[in-house]
Structure 1
Amino acid sequence: MNSKLPHLETTIFTAMSKLANENQAINLAQGFPDFDPHSSLIESLNYYSYQNYNQYAPMIGVEKLRNFIVAKVEKLHQTVYHPENEVTITNGASQAIFTAIAAVIEKGDEVIIFEPAYDLYKPAVEMFGGIVKPIRLTYPNYTIDYTKLKELITDKTKLVIFNNPNNPSGKIFTKDDLIQIETILKDKNCYIISDEVYEHMTFDQKEHQSFARIPSLKDRIFITASFGKLCHVTGWKVGYVLAGAELMKEFRKVHQFNVFSVHTPSQYAIANYLDDEHNYQELNDFFQQKRDYFVNGLSTTRFEIIPSEGTYFVSANYKNYSDLNDRAFAEELTIKNKVATIPFSAFYHDKFDENVIRFCFAKQEETLDAALERLNKL
C-alpha cells in the first residue's frame, strides 16, 4: 500500500497520554478538563435522549443550535450569518477544519500555516495533495513576521490557516493583526480557515478578535469553533463552521458524505444549556482563575513561564533544568517525575526545538496541586 501520509506517526497527544497512563503520571498533556460539565447540561442530554431525539439530525444541524450560533455571533461580533445557508454543525472543530480543507484544496495548492501549529493542519492539507508553507511565529511572544508572510504568498497560495487564540502558545492576536492579514490578502485569490475554538478563553480583559469582524472576507473564510471546549465536553465532539453561502455549499458537499449529521440529543442539550449566556460569557474568568493558580504555583520553579493570554494552556522554557531535546525532556518528566506535558517541537513541521513544553491547566485544583508539588521537586 502506498501511504498518503508515509512520514506521519501517532499524534503527540496520543503518545503522551499513553505514556502518562503507563507511568501513572498526572496528565497535563492532552487538552481536556478532568472536571464534570454542569449538571444541567447532563440532565438536558438525558431528557432529549429519553424523549426520543435519537434519530438523524438535519445534515446542516439542529435548527435551535444554529439559531443560537447566529445570535451569538451577531451579538459579539456584529456580523450576521444566515442560519440555513451559512452555518453547519460538525463532529467537532477538527472535522470542520478537515472538511474545509477537503472542500478547497487540490493537488499542488499551497497552504500557509503559522507555527507552532495544531498538528491537524499539515497532514490534512497533504492528504489532498496540498503543499504546506509554514511561517514561524517569533519566540517568545509568538508575533507574526508580516514581511515573511508577504514573501510566502504566491499565485499558488490557495489557503491560509489561522488559529486565534493560538494553541499551543496561548497568544491572542489583535484587531491590528487581523487587519494586516486582510490587507495582505485583499487582492489574492485564496481562502482562510480561522480556527477559533478557544474564543471564550481570553484573559486579562483581552477581547477575542474573530475574523467574523472583517466583513470583506466573509465570502472567503471558514470560521470554526467547538462546543466541546465551550461546555467542558470534549468527548461529545460537537462543533460548527461559519462561511458565506457559496463557500458553505462546497463545504456541505463534503460534509454530507463524510459524517452527514452530528449526534442529535447532544445538539439539543447544548442549545438548551447555552440559552443562559452566563454559561459561556463567564468562561474567561473561570479559566483565568485556573491559569493564575497554576502560574503562581509554577513561579517557585526554575521554569521560564511564557505568558498565556488565552486557551487553557500555559507553556514554559525548561532550559534551566536540562539540555535534553523537548521530546526527551517531556518523556523523562512523565516517567521520572510523573507529570505529562506536550513538547513544542510537535507543533513544527521540522521538529524545531526551542526547549518549551505545554501544560494544560483545565484541571481540578487537586490535580494542579499534585502536579505542582512534583514539579517543585525537580
Structure 2
Amino acid sequence: MKRFLLTAMLGAFAGVSFGQNTFPTSGNVGIGTLSPGSLLTVAGDLHSSGIIGGNGAFINVLKIPSLDSSPGYFYINTNIPAADYAAPQIQITGYMYGAANKAMKITIGWYHYQGNFYWSQWHSDLGYQKPSRIRLGTYIKNGSPFIRIEVSNNSVYWSNYSVSATDIGDHTYNYYSGWTFTEGEMPSGTTSQIHEATPYKDIVVDGNLGVGTNNFQGYKLAVNGKIRAQEIKVEASPWPDYVFTKDYQLPTLQQTEQHIKEKGHLPGIPSAAEVKTNGIDLGEMNAKLLQKIEELTLHLIEQNKRNDEGRKNQEKKNAAQEQKIQILQDRLNKIENH
C-alpha cells in the first residue's frame, strides 16, 4: 500500500513539474499581471541567458546613473557587432532635472552594411526633451568592430538614463550584456566611421491631436495655450482679387458709415462677440481684411482723381485770374504814361 501511494505521488509531482512548461494554445499569458495585453506580458524586468528577440519586446541593457558633472555628451559602448545584419532598435529614456521638459524618450535605429552606416535615424516622442545631437560610430574590442552610440546630454545636470533594446532577429544574449558608458564625446582616436544620425522628422497622427486639451470640437489639432512659430502657412480661398473687377459693387463710404453706426463694426467683419464665441479663421480673416484694404485703396484712388481734377481746375482759374490782372495792369500803365 505504501509503495502504491509513493508511486502515485511521484507520478502526480512529475505531472505538475512537466505542466509548468506548458501554456494554453490560445489567449494571452501574463507574468506579474492579471491583464496581459499581448501573447506574453511581463510586468517587470526581463532577462535572458540565451536568445532574445523575435517580436519587438524591449529588454534593459544598461542603467546610467546620475550624471552630476553635467557633461555635454555621453557615449555608450555596445556589444553589437558592426556586421552586415539588421541592427536592433535602441530606446533611451531619462530624467533630466535641469531641463524644461525633464523627461527624455528617444528611439535610435540604423543599418550597418559593408563598413558604412545606412538608415541611421532617431525619433523623440511628442512632449519629451530632445537631444541636440546623436552620433553613431564603431570601436575595436578584441580585434573586432562594435557599435558605439553618442547622445547629447544638453549639459543638463542631475540626469540619469535607462537603455533598452529590441531586435527583429534571434541573436545571442552576449550582444545585449556588458554595455558601458563614458561621459563626453566619442573620442575620434578610438572611434571610426563617426556618423551623425538625423532625427525622424515626419510625425503622422491617425486621428485628432490635442495639446493640453482633449476637447477637439471637430478640429484635427486643438491647443489649449499659446503657439509660437517662425512661419505659418494658411490656405485661403477665395482671395479677394474680385474687388478689382469691373462688376464689383464697391460700397460707398456713406454706406459703410451707416453700417458702422448700426452694427458697430465693418461690413463683412465679425463682431467682437462673434470672435469671442467662435474665434477666427486665419485664412478667411486675412482675406476679409485684404478685401477691406482693396476697397479702401479704390476709394483713395477715386479721391486722388478728384483731388487732381480739382487742382487742375483751380490752376486754370488761377491762370485766368492772373491774365485778367495783367490786362488791367497794362491798361493802368498806359493811362499813367498819357
Alignment TM-score > 0.5, same fold: no
Greater fraction helix: 1
State the structure with more CA Rg. Answer: 2
Which fold has the larger relative contact order, with Cα–Cα distance below 8 Å and residues 6 or more apart in sequence? Answer: 1
Greater fraction strand: 2
TM range (shorter): under 0.3
TM-score relative to the length of structure 2: 0.20
